[in-house]
Amino acid sequence: MHNLTIAEISRKLQAKEFSSEEITRYFLDRIKQQDPTYNCYVTVTEELAMAQAKAADARLAAGNAPTMCGVPFAHKDIFCTNGVKTTCGSKMLDNFVPPYNATVVENYINEGAVMLGKTNMDEFAMGSSNETSYFGPVKNPWDTNCVPGGSSGGSAAAVAARMAPGATATDTGGSIRQPAALCGITGIKPTYGRVSRWGMIAFASSLDQAGVMARSAEDAAIMLNVMAGYDNKDSTCIDEPVPDYTANLGDSLAGVTIGVPKEYFEVGLNPGTEARVQDAIKQYETAGAKIKSISLPHSHLAVPAYYVIAPAECSANLSRFDGVRYGHRCDDPKDLMDLYKRSRGEGFGEEVKRRILVGTYCLSAGYYDAYYGKSQQVRRLIKQDFVDAFKEVDVIMGPTAPSPAFAFGSKGDDPVAMYLEDIYTIATNLAGLPGMSVPCGLVDNKPVGLQLIGNFFAESKLLNLAHQFQLATDFHTLAPSSLA
């Protein structure tokens, strides 16, 4: 049953071929068997999951249950869950049990979906490898010596290892798309403001966006239908009508114009990755799409701009973790300053401390205009590149990550090399655009991802293009040979 997609599970639940309690118990048993190898979950909510499954079965028996009613899935451990520990992958929040649900969590509860547990992640979503988690690294199911990507590595690996048919995730600079590419699954980051951030622990507020990871574009569309929508508790959430993301999956690709940025195929791209991506683009051309070479002239500035803006916002957001109100608190502080220093020093990991220091420096008097202000100006230029490009093309395609999954520790001593793992994904967050990664082949028996970037609120178009590609290929059905 672990090879069933969300769409297939939903249809079989509606047809009474098995119950939600049966499929939920199956996945819980599989997690017990597989997760000691991969470390995908921080918390497994077995008792809650079975209670939710029992309630879902009652709704299914009554008829007219929603599509995801009774379907098991996982939440990234960045979404607050009432009564369930929410750690954000950090020692700072190892004892934090929220008294409320994030809007995304509440939406899935209302749908009747079943939460299997909370997935591991880079600490406070800061990382591209899932090596910064306080709870230990997640291992890539395709090669346990390699990283799964980050920060949503737990969600990606859980789906790839068939320990959940789908999972929520977040993307600040590529944290859905990059691990989706490295683990051979499908992931989508919606337009900024499309999904509520209320109850989602903040890293960089102008960049963070919730999204989904699943095996296929169809499954991603089903999950996004549950998540998307306006929330008056989130001031950045946009009151825009939400389409049925499954409605246009079957649209023809004839007449679609695909832009291929020349800057995405220059120095630094793994030759094997480039070959698989180019093959995928040719597949679209065969299906009737028109391919057009374009330029995103300021794309080389995305990484330096991002690594000023994101740390600056992280510095502000993480100032609330001071040992006073909630989270980790040092033992026997001598005074208030000692409480602050030791609580934060003990609670945060090295990468989080690095980014707080960089961000605080960039926001300090005398440097704000030179660094943060200038980076925001560059951000506007990057966004304008996309605005200009979408006057000529319907969607932009290129690689998701510069190479397949890399070995643990291979970039640990070089933060810049790690940051460059997000070189193709960061610009999408700076511009607030939707982005998606779909599997497009293997290099050295490791997955490679094709990135699709759309105009604002063009999630339906991305899902349509991804679905049509997956109808013509089988890359999204491939599983690691080591899986039982």
- Of 10, 19, 20, 76, which is the active-site residue? 76
Spatial CA neighbour of 216 closest among 481, 483, 469: 469
E strand map for 68-149: 72-76, 114-119
**Is position 12 annotated as part of the catalytic site?**
no
Counting beta carbons within 10 angstroms of the beta carbon of residue 122, is it exposed (0 to 12), middle (13 to 18) or buried (19 or more)? Answer: buried
CA 338 and chain centroid, separation: 36
- Of 151, 152, 375, 460, which is the active-site residue? 151
Q: Which residues have CB under 8 Å from 113's CB, separation 6+?
A: 52, 56, 68, 69, 70, 71, 72, 73, 226
- Residue carrying structure tokens 């009554």: 62
- Of 175, 196, 299, 437, which is the active-site residue? 175
Counting beta carbons within 10 angstroms of the beta carbon of residue 290, is it exposed (0 to 12), middle (13 to 18) or buried (19 or more)? Answer: middle
Q: Say how far apart CA 416 and CA 246 lie, in whole Å.
A: 39
Q: Is the Cβ–Cβ distance between 319 and 57 less than 8 Å?
A: no
Spatial CA neighbour of 146 closest among 187, 185, 179: 179
Report cis status (omega within 30 of 0) of the bond before 151.
yes
**Is position 175 annotated as part of the catalytic site?**
yes
Q: Say how far apart CA 200 and CA 395 lie, in whole Å.
A: 29
CA 238 and chain centroid, separation: 20
Q: Which two tokens stand for residue 369?
A: 């205009």
Side-chain-facing half-sphere of 189: CA atoms under 13 Å: 32
Q: In what order do the strands lie in the sheet with 114-119?
A: 41-44, 114-119, 72-76, 166-171, 209-214, 186-189, 435-443, 446-454, 395-399, 257-261, 290-294
Q: Which residues are catalytic?
A: 76, 151, 175
